[in-house]
Structure 1
Amino acid sequence: MTAPWWQSAVIYQIYPRSFQDGNGDGMGDLGGIGQRLDYLAGLGIDAIWISPIYPSPMVDFGYDVSDYCDIDPRFGTLADFDALLAQAHARGIKVLLDFVPNHSSDRHPWFVESRASRKNPKRDWYLWRDAAADGGPPNNWVSDFGGSAWEWDEATGQYYYHAFLTQQPDLNWRNPAVQAAMFDVMRFWFDRGVDGFRIDVLWHLIKAESFPDNPPNAAYHPALGEMHRVLQLHSTDQPEVHAIAAEMRAIADSYGATGRGDRLLIGEIYLPVDRLMHYYGRERPEMHLPFNFQLIDAVWEARALAALISTYEAALPPGGWPNWVLGNHDRPRVATRLGQAQARVAAMLLLTLRGTAILYYGDELGLSDVPIPLEQERDPRGLREPGLRLGRDPVRTPMPWDGSVHAGFSTAQPWLPLNADWPTRNVARMMQEPASILRLYHRLLAIRRAHPALAIGDFALLEADGDVLAYERREGAQRLIIALNLGGHPQRLALPRDTTDCRLLLSTLAAAPLIESDGLLLRPDEGVILAA
């Protein structure tokens, strides 16, 4: 059998509010995404992952779902989605949706019924508990957005649990009726032709049945945000979650023209590597790709990255496929963390490591976090603890397309400010600049597509000194060497002794590096791909 499509894929995450406005209201939508499919096809990506587009009060910008089987009017209609899906598939682009199973909106009909009375048939669809002996919350669990994770409901005299906002009550995944309803949601979208899901906060789905207190976090500091005051020992990553993940996988695998299933499940799981690996499945298959976020938090130093990559590769279970990501809608952008020069090197790293690569919209332009004035802040994460500036708005700003009004994103004032350098850092301008990071991404994606060794080949680290991270990728007779200078000084890499003739495929810098018979001279902040 050939490898499934997603193993060699590059997946492009779209935050729909900020990608392209198709109807002139200042906010992105499905019609806008459709307008930019040719750009995405030309870039060379294989699939798009669209952050939530379901009906929602938008308290958490779509992660508070009030109907799992429809499209929010702000983004369009089900017919618009079907059209987008068909247009994407016609261009060879797969479509993944964000699935938000841990919690719904408090305006979802299920929760409206659940809170109507203690005797309502859907009462047990959510997590209700009596007050503690002192009248306070049932335990010490803390919301990820700060404050107690329990909200008092005066009408029925109980607390309900919310891992995030009070308007996002957690579903009770121990209830078989909840499981059946949510599995039907997956089937609804698979039946429409969706190619997979990114599953939001998968490790949160099951809570310890007796709801004991979480232990205090000895390393807690207020600057981290209140969610870190306790360790989420009992409120996340419970053993029973794996049976649910396995059932999700069984549903996904039941679809697909190949008969073996070609629908992809990516699980959002922020856990140490050893626990992350459990979500590939031990007794039954679970996630195709448990999200690997290590590069987002990594110390950007050659030996540290080499150890990180080696440890991750070694931890993969038999048949487990790796994945890598540099950023997403919740975390600072790579250009902000590393600077523009190293953002180019990071792009080469992302697209030459073994495994599926996930690219966040705008990173191909080198977008940085956009400072948001307090009066324009929209994200509830930041508004809950305003002094800490934890809001995610800076990484969700509109995509700059050209030099026209509002950067071609909209004919109206965008919902969030544009990047200040949008007149020069936009798609149209950077496509005309041979040395731009956008053109670098184009070349990287073209080389990855042309060389199977980069997508599915074997991986081996090479010995390197100083700031150099180097490795080989091999597939059949194809052998590539990748060398990345993570520092600001020239470096020399000794090439393997069995390489007699190396040909440069790509450098992150404009001119070619110096290749000698036994070594490679790397300039500061340079990455290269050699064919050996």
Structure 2
Amino acid sequence: MARSTASTPRRWAFARHPFVYELDTWVWLSDLSSRTGRPVNLSTVPAADWDAIADLGFDAVWLMGVWTRSPAGVSVALADRELVDSFRAALPDYAPEDVIGSAYCIRAYDVAPELGGRAGLAVARSALAARGIALLLDFVPNHVAPDHEWTSTHPEYFVRGSAADVDHDPESFTDVGGRILANGRDPYFPAWRDVVQLNAFDPGLRAAVVDVLRDIADQCDGVRCDMAMLVVNDVFARTWGERVGEPPDAEYWPATIDAVHRTHPEFTFLAEAYWDMEALLQDQGFDFCYDKRLYDRLVDGDVAGIRAHLAADPAFQDRLVRFVENHDEPRAAAVFDAAREKAATVATLTQTGARLMHGGQLDGAKVRVPVFLRRGPHEDVDAELAAFHRSLLDALRDDTFRTGTWRPCQTSGWPGDDSWARLVAWCWQGDARWLVVVNLGPTPARALTRVPLTDVRGRTHRLTDPTTGLSVVRSGDDLADGLFVELGPWQWHLFRLDEIPTG
């Protein structure tokens, strides 16, 4: 396996374990424009709104969907009845002009003029940096829009087809300026008809991608790479076979990431990754990779699987991205009831690695807005969930959750009582000490929880949960030998441990 020459993963300097806030840029700015009664772009976002994000404690903002989208992609979307039905379902007063094309059908890696262009993005980046917040943008390695300039200037960058392919499989091939190009695809699903497939094996494309990424790196602090596993050599070869020939000796990502790091050494790469390829992509140079496995197990209620997953090598877990919602998944408030969502959120946001929240999630939004739309629907704030999320984020402002060390805790029970298996537990040690125990089941659970923190024996501690107000006093021997914990359905303890002086 090819390896990145980077000896250690890059990190935003102020956050080894960052909290990332994803904003659908068009929808967010539309909301701000409605609220303020005037057009708002990236250069005119009110300072109070940047302050509000900073006050929540996020270390990075991912402005999803800033690049110039495709008129050709809009036409494809509007002709797709299933897509249009999804637009109407999300937006009660939907109109065709609300469709601006997919955020991942990119015509050019130029900031959309309607959003303020490159200059507007620079203003937004400066505003974030002044508040100690990094900026994350998108990069799509697998495909571009059919009206991207490369389709005419560099047709060799694409997977090609023939007139016979169009006749045989018109959903997977398209005529672009007299050339037959393959539509972009994931090998397990039908092709995406609004985009055309880049040939990840072409050396000219690889060189051009480095230039694109270096230009992006001039404008932000990191990229979230869409469907990053699709351009790994063996995946790409299995997907496209003889059409793309033999894989090159070098893997796509190590060569690309190393080239970008030669000019932008602190630039961060985050991978959208599936199919248990997270470790491979980490090995190829990614700083962080999506943790879809944890998400799926939370949704499925697979506590045994979660416990096994969290027992993996901490060095691997340090480079995962934990979430209960993003733009590709249903809204958490639509998947879980309120009690279960709170437990899943505590279990996710207190993990090691990067932690991701999505715009609207904080206030309990339930409508997933398709990435083709310029605006979303009005939804009332769920006051209970909003208060919970803000109290949790306030507790997680402690730098221990960014720069400290995470360790799993052992839990055990008693003969005839297997309820302990529904509890998951871990601790953090840094400037402060924290213990997290969560009941991921619908019935009460109890366990002995052994806390592997250093220097706790012989010392008395006050355990305080800022999210619930609970405060108890326990000896260090109890913590080390096994702290008795009993929690109701979907309840948790987020305890800060403070030593009580004696004498």
- Interval of TM-score (by shorter of Structure 1 and Structure 2): 0.7 to 0.9
For CA contacts below 8 A with separation 6 or more, give which structure has more relative contact order: 2
Shift of 1:195: 0.5
Matched with 2:184 is: 162
User: Does residue 254 of the first structure (1) align with residue 219 of the second (2)?
Assistant: no
Shift of 1:485: 1.6
Q: Deviations over 1:284-311 (max 9, x none)?
A: x511112222232112243231122224
Amino acid at match of 2:55: G
Shift of 1:443: 3.5
- The alignment covers a number of residue pairs equal to 430
**Distance (whole Å) between structure 1 residues aligned to residue 27 and residue 165 of structure 2:** 47
Residue segments in structure 1 that go unaligned for 5+ positions in a row: 115-121, 138-146, 215-231, 371-391, 398-413, 431-435
Matched with 1:11 is: 20
Any conservation in 2 of the 1:355–1:456 contact (CA below 8 Å)? no
Query: SS of the residue aligned with 1:13?
Result: strand
Shift of 1:475: 2.6
Shift of 1:31: 4.8
**Map 1:14-163 → 2, pairs under 5 A:** 14-21=23-30, 22-23=32-33, 29-31=41-43, 36-57=49-70, 59=74, 60-68=101-109, 70-111=110-151, 113=152, 122-130=154-162, 136-137=168-169, 148-152=171-175, 155-156=178-179, 158-163=180-185
Shift of 1:44: 0.6
What is the alpha-carbon root mean square deviation over aligned residues?
A: 3.7
Q: Deviations over 1:39-97 (max 9, x none)?
A: 100111000011121111263422111111x2212322221111111111011110011
- Determine which structure has the larger helix proportion and give its number: 2
**Distance (whole Å) between structure 2 residues aligned to residue 5 and residue 188 of structure 1:** 24
Matched with 2:425 is: 471
1:203 to 221, 224, 229: 229
Any conservation in 2 of the 1:364–1:437 contact (CA below 8 Å)? yes
User: Per the alignment, do residues 294 and 33 of structure 1 end up closer, same or farther by CA in structure 2, a change over 3 Å counting?
Assistant: farther
**Distance (whole Å) between structure 2 residues aligned to residue 235 and residue 512 of structure 1:** 63
Query: SS of the residue aligned with 2:441?
Result: coil
- Determine which structure has the larger strand proportion and give its number: 2
Amino acid at match of 1:325: F
**Map 1:57-456 → 2, pairs under 5 A:** 57=70, 59=74, 60-68=101-109, 70-111=110-151, 113=152, 122-130=154-162, 136-137=168-169, 148-152=171-175, 155-156=178-179, 158-163=180-185, 164-192=191-219, 194-205=220-231, 243-255=251-263, 261-272=265-276, 275-281=277-283, 285-298=284-297, 299-311=300-312, 313=313, 316=316, 321-368=319-366, 370=367, 393=369, 415-419=375-379, 422=380, 424-425=381-382, 430=383, 436-452=384-400, 455-456=403-404
Matched with 2:500 is: none
Q: Deviations over 1:206-240 (max 9, x none)?
A: 6779977x6xxxxxxxxxxxxxxxxx99999x976
Query: SS of the residue aligned with 1:326?
Result: coil
User: Per the alignment, do residues 506 and 254 of structure 1 end up closer, same or farther by CA in structure 2, a change over 3 Å counting?
Assistant: farther
Matched with 1:377 is: none
**Distance (whole Å) between structure 2 residues aligned to residue 473 and residue 153 of structure 1:** 55
User: Per the alignment, do residues 438 and 253 of structure 1 end up closer, same or farther by CA in structure 2, a change over 3 Å counting?
Assistant: farther
**Distance (whole Å) between structure 2 residues aligned to residue 209 and residue 515 of structure 1:** 54
User: Per the alignment, do residues 106 and 27 of structure 1 end up closer, same or farther by CA in structure 2, a change over 3 Å counting?
Assistant: farther
Higher alpha-carbon deviation: 163-172 or 486-495: 486-495
Shift of 1:26: 10
**Distance (whole Å) between structure 1 residues aligned to residue 242 and residue 425 of structure 2:** 40
Residue segments in structure 2 that go unaligned for 5+ positions in a row: 1-7, 75-100, 186-190, 413-417, 498-503
TM-score for both structures, normalised by structure 1: 0.70
Q: Deviations over 1:454-500 (max 9, x none)?
A: 75313123215526423232436854321112233333232438777
Q: Deviations over 1:347-380 (max 9, x none)?
A: 2112211111111122222222x2xxxxxxxxxx
User: Per the alignment, do residues 521 and 33 of structure 1 end up closer, same or farther by CA in structure 2, a change over 3 Å counting?
Assistant: farther
TM-score for both structures, normalised by structure 2: 0.74
**Distance (whole Å) between structure 2 residues aligned to residue 235 and residue 295 of structure 1:** 36
Query: SS of the residue aligned with 2:341?
Result: helix
Matched with 2:91 is: none
**Distance (whole Å) between structure 2 residues aligned to residue 34 and residue 51 of structure 1:** 19
Residue identity (%): 20
Shift of 1:515: 7.5
